[in-house]
Structure 1
Amino acid sequence: MSYEKIQAHAWAYSYIPFARKYYHDEPEKKRRLLKRHSMFYNTEPQTGQLINGIVASLEEQIALGNNVSEEMPVNIKATLMGPLAGIGDSIIQGIVVPILLSIAMSLASGGSPLGPIFYIVTYGILGPMISYIAFHSGYRLGVNAIDIIVGENSKRITDAFNILGVMVVGALAANTIVLKTIAKVPLGGKTKPLESVLNGIFPGLLPLIIVLFGWWLVSSKQYSATKVILILTVIVTIGCLIGLF
């Protein structure tokens, strides 16, 4: 990674074995190969391996002397890295990670170390597995994969995964965020717990409010996760001191 070219250097590095295999006695072609793959590149790392597979098949055709221009792999990368980033982020960050974290947090809720161990192991298996499948799928499909990834198909796929990701994150927030109030309100000459009144109107209203507040701080105020955690900690601390929580 670099601030100037993001993932370009890692991509070029991954093609060194390819260059040694096909251009071991042709230094000029090796230089051109590594130079054209040192250009700016940025996409989702796991699903983005689909692009690497497509480009590897094209580069192989170039090395074998078939009718493929050296510009085509570069153009393919520039065309596909945006759509694949959207699809990949929706799958990995919107579905896979929240599901694994929800399971891990449930396992760790009683102080068990199984929670972080579960997440590390499962993501450590799933990440390389997705990369492996994506790369070989791209290699087999070649340029035919473009019809699946770009255009209206890409938008439909991204929208579908975004909706599923929102559902997963919503379910995760509803099941794991806990915020209860011990305050009581006068009701018909008696007092009644505010918690039961709120749940009668909208079950889980307080957790929903705190989630939406955190989302607002991140999206509108552009606060970092650390600042959001500190703000929520202050709010809960003050609420406990005044007898609200």
Structure 2
Amino acid sequence: MDSTKKLDKKTLSKSFNLWFWGALTCFSQEHMQTFGYMASMLPILKKLYPKHEDQVNAIHAYTAFFNTNPMLGSVIVGITASMEEARANGKGIDGETINDMRAGLMGPIAGIGDSLIDGTLIPILLGIALGMSSGGSPVGAIFYIVVWVLLAYFGQRFLYFRGYKLGDKAVEFLVGEQGAAVRRAIGTVGAMVVGGVLASWVNVTTSLKLYNSNGKVFLNLQNQLDSIFPGLLTVLITIFCWWLMSKKHVSAIWTMLILVAISFVGVLVGFFNPGLSY
């Protein structure tokens, strides 16, 4: 009789769902995703270790600090399930080995996930949604919610089961040459989408005009700028915001406050005209 312990799909699905819904529960600066991770491993440990004492001993490997990108981080949980299965079958893996793997992967996966998901995928979806929301249409909001939920759930599920199936080899795709090529391609597409949104939705112009002694306009600054470089002020403001956030590490909130201050001063000196009437 084969005594090999094997995780079934029902147990793995339950583990994944606990990660998907609970990765950021019980979140604190001290533990962050530790308890969410631990909860996702409970079905695995209960399946592999029928005795309560064995479950208690096994769960100690998951009490250490853990924090990564929750979407791509599901691959680490899948890998852990595979390693826990190997440990239960006496294949020379202990809790320290599992914890070292988690600690070693959470940093790289966080860096890749934050740039790929938060910095690229979400702006792309928001850019498309903004374009669909022109004229106050709710279609854009509905599109974003539906597409993001589907991508988040099934994307994480795919990574979880891929991590379980391939073990630590699943990470090679994310951090290797193929993964780097995919991230560059997605980054390029993201830059194109964000650039298109910028050109469509951001429009910075000046109302500054100089008059001669007869009261006639002899210099319309916006017309002069358009003849040299259409949209120049929009580009300059965009580069300024990028410089603040990327080079000076100014938060988005402070960047918006700086733009409000610039707009306020610009209206006072007559450089900007908000077009308001009272």
For structure 2, which runs of at least 5 residues remain unmatched after alignment?
Answer: 1-26, 273-278
Q: Is the 8 A contact 1:184 1:194 kept in 2?
A: yes
Distance 1:74 1:12 in 2: 12
One-letter amino acid of the structure 1 residue matched with residue 36 of structure 2:
A
Write the mapping of 1:67-106 to structure 2, written as runs, cut at 5 A: 67-106=92-131
Number of matched residues? 243
Deviation at 1:32, TM superposition (A): 2.9
Selected match of 1:49 from 74, 88, 92 = 74
Distance 1:106 1:171 in 2: 10
Q: TM-score, normalised by structure 1?
A: 0.83
Change (3 A) 1:168 1:104: closer
Change (3 A) 1:103 1:149: closer
Determine whether 1:4 maps to 2:24. no
Q: Partner residue of 2:48?
A: 22
The structure, 1 or 2, with the larger RCO (C-alpha pairs under 8 Å, 6+ apart) is 1
Q: Is the 8 A contact 1:54 1:139 kept in 2?
A: yes
Distance 1:103 1:153 in 2: 27
Determine whether 1:216 maps to 2:232. no
Selected match of 2:234 from 184, 207, 210 = 207
Distance 1:25 1:11 in 2: 21
Q: Partner residue of 2:61?
A: 36
One-letter amino acid of the structure 2 residue matched with residue 230 of structure 1:
L
Q: Partner residue of 1:244?
A: 271
One-letter amino acid of the structure 1 residue matched with residue 41 of structure 2:
Y
One-letter amino acid of the structure 1 residue matched with residue 159 of structure 2:
A
For structure 1, which runs of at least 5 residues remain unmatched after alignment?
Answer: none
Deviation at 1:16, TM superposition (A): 1.3
Change (3 A) 1:242 1:109: farther
Distance 2:171 2:146 in 1: 33
Which deviates further from its counterpart, 68-77 or 50-59?
Answer: 68-77
The structure having more radius of gyration, on CA atoms, is 2
Change (3 A) 1:162 1:30: same
Q: TM-score, normalised by structure 2?
A: 0.75
Aligned-residue CA RMSD (Å): 2.8
Q: Is the 8 A contact 2:60 2:95 kept in 1?
A: no
CA displacement, residues 165-195 of structure 1 (integer Å, 9 cap, x when unaligned) = 5454444434432212232468xx9735323
Distance 2:184 2:107 in 1: 14
Q: Partner residue of 1:179?
A: 204
Selected match of 1:144 from 169, 174, 185 = 169
Change (3 A) 1:148 1:112: closer
Selected match of 2:149 from 106, 116, 124 = 124
Q: Partner residue of 2:10?
A: none
Deviation at 1:98, TM superposition (A): 0.8
Selected match of 1:228 from 235, 239, 255 = 255
- The SS at the match of 1:88 is helix
One-letter amino acid of the structure 2 residue matched with residue 78 of structure 1:
A
